[in-house]
Structure 1
Amino acid sequence: MNVEGHVAEGYETVRQVFRRMVDDGRETGAGLSVWRDGEEVVRLSGGWADTARQRPWRADTLVQPYSVSKPFAALAALVAVRDGALTLDEPIGRYWPGYAVAGKERTTLRHVLTHQAGQARFPVAAAGTDLLDGARLREILAESAPEYVPGTSLGEHALTYGHLIDGVLRAGAGVTLERMFADVVRPALGLDGWFGVPDGELHRVADLEPAAPGWAQQLPQEPWLTIPAGLLDMERMNSTAWRQSVFGAANLHATATSVAEFFAGLTRMDGPVHRLLGSELHAAYLAPQVRRHDEVFATTVGWTLGLIRDDGKIAKGGLGGSAAWWSVRHGHSCAFLTRRLDDLSRAAEIAAALGDDLSLG
C-alpha cells in the first residue's frame, strides 16, 4: 500500500511511524495531518479508502471518526447561545417542555455539553427503534429519567449527545442541528466535513472496516454502544442512508487535514472559532468545566463544553481509533482519521512521535 504526501523538516519520525503502520498492516486506510504556526507541516495518506482496495486514500478522503464529531455538534448549540436563543444555565425544559419530566426539570444545556445530563446511553425503551428515527429517539430521551441527578456525576453521552443538542435547538431556537451546522458552523470554520454528506461528495467517503472479525464483540457490550442497534454494523455504517443522515454524536464525515486545521485554530484569538462564537463563548468552549470520574471512560476526565482537556492537550478521540488534538505544550495540532476500526494505539504512537500524550486521567 502506498503512503503519499509530505512532511516538513523535523517531522520525519512521524512519517516513519505512519509508514510502519501501513507496512505492517495495522493501518489499511488513514489520513494524518499536523499543523504548526498556521501551516500544514505533515499531510500523509496511506492505504485504501474502500473495502475492495480499489480507491487509494487521498488527502480529500472523507471518513467518519465517530466521537470526534462531538465538538462540532457542540458548536451548533453554542451558536444558538451566541444569538440569544438559548442559554447555558437555564433549564432546557423551558424551551422543551416535554423534556422537563422524571427528574430532568433542572437539566441545563451546560449539563448536556459537559456530559453531566445523566443520559449517557439510550434507555432500553429505544432498543427496537431504528437508528435513523431521530424523532423517536429524541422523544424517548425526553420521556426517560436520568441515571443520576443532572450535574452530580459524569459519563460521556456516547450516542445521545447529538440528539439532546438537536432537541434543544429545535425547541429553543427553531432550527435543527443539521441546518445550524450546515448554514452557520461549517461555512464559518471552512470545514471540509458534513453531518449529512451531499450527493456530490459521496464518492470521497471511505468505507469503515473492523481490524478483526470479532472487533465489535471485544467492546463493552453496554447500552451506550448497542442501543439503538447499528453503530457497530458495518453494512449500516457504510450505507448511503447513514452517510446522508445526521447522528450528531458520531457521524460527521471529514478529512484529516480539515479537522487538524480546526484544532490548529482552536485557541487563536484571530481564529475561526473565536470569530464564530465571540470572546466570551470562545473562552467558555475551551475552559475546563468539570473534572471527575467519567463512568464511560472509567477514569478521571476533564471536559470543556464539548472537548476533553488536561494540562497538555485539548482533544477528542473516537470509537475505532480516530483522534484529533491541540497540544497545549508544543503548539501544534494533529488529526489521525482512520477507517480501520481498532483501538487508539495508532493515534497514541503518532502522538508520541510528536512528543504528545493522549492518555486520560
Structure 2
Amino acid sequence: MFFPLFSLLGFTFEHTIVCDRLWTPKGMAMALHALPPLVKVAVAQMTAISDTNANFITCARLVQEAAAAGVKLLSLPECFSFIGSRDGEALGIAEPLTGPIMKRYQSLAREAGLWLALGGFQEKGPDDKHIYNTHVLLDDYGRICSSYRKIHLFDVDVPGGPVLKESNNTAPGSEVVVANCPAGKLGLTVCYDLRFPELYQRLRFAENAEVLLVPSAFTKKTGEAHWELLLRARAVETQCYVLAAAQAGKHNDKRESYGDAMIIDPWGTVIARLPDKLVTGIAVAQVDLSMLQAIRLRMPIEQHRRYDIYGPSCPQQVPSKGDEKHSSL
C-alpha cells in the first residue's frame, strides 16, 4: 500500500527503511528481510437485537467471512451478543465469562482459527443490580487472553437524541488493559472511552500499544458529529492503528446506532470501511508495523513530550493489566 502523504516526511516506498545507513541495496535487502509481516485484520458492523441466538448466528457468519479472507484478528462491536429494548434488560442475560454464551464464541474462534475481539459483553457484575461492559479478547484456540471492563460509562442526554444512563445498570472498570496478538500490541477500549484521550495516551506512551480497539454502539446523533473525527484524532496523536467495529441501524423502537465501522492507520488515513453505514459485514485491512515504526521514528512525538511543563498524562497509579498468560477459561 502506498501513502503519498508520507513524502512529506521522506517516506518514498511501501516498506520504508528507517535508518540512513541502510540506504544501500545490501542494507535495504537486510532490512526488508527483518521487517515484521503484514497481518490482515477486520472490523465488523452489525445490528444486534434482544435475541442472543440470532446475534450469534450473525457473528458466526461474520467470523466465517473473515476467516475466508485470511484475517488473523476480527473485532466485533460493543453489545455484539445482546441489545435490549428495555432499561435493565441486560441484567437478565448477563453471565460470568465462564458461561455458555462466552463458550459458544470461544468455540467459534477456535473453529475459525482466528483471534476474536468481543467488543462489549454483558458480564455478570459485582451485585444483582449491575453488570460489567467487558471487552474480551480470544486467541485462535478460543482461550480468553485478556478482558477489559469499560471505564467510562455513557451517562448523557444527547441533544436531539436519547437520554442514556449506562451507570444505572453497569459498574465501571478500573484497569487499563493491553495484550499481545499477531497484529501487534493491542490497547482495549470500548465506545465512550473514545472521548477521553488520556486513556489512549496511557495505552500508547506508558503501555506501548500499537493497535487500538474501539468497538462501539455510537448513537446516530453523536456518530454523525464526532465518530470519524475522534477516531482519526486518536490514531494521529498516538501513532497507532485504530480498529473501530460498530453497531449500525435500528435495534428496536428506542435504540439506533450510527454504524460506519472503519480501520485507520497511524497517519490518520481511513484504509478500510464498509460501503454503507448500515449494512452488516466486515471491512478488512493490513496492519504494517514497519510503517508504524517508520512514522514514529520520523516524527518522534514520544521524545518531544514536555512532562516538565504539563506533568505526566499517564498517571501510573491507574492499575494496568497486560500481556497476560492465556487463561483456562
Fold shared by both chains (TM-score > 0.5) = no
Q: Which has the higher contact order (CA 8 A, sep 6+)?
A: 1
Which has the larger strand fraction?
2
TM-score normalised according to structure 1 size: 0.28
Which has the larger helix fraction?
1
TM-score normalised according to structure 2 size: 0.30
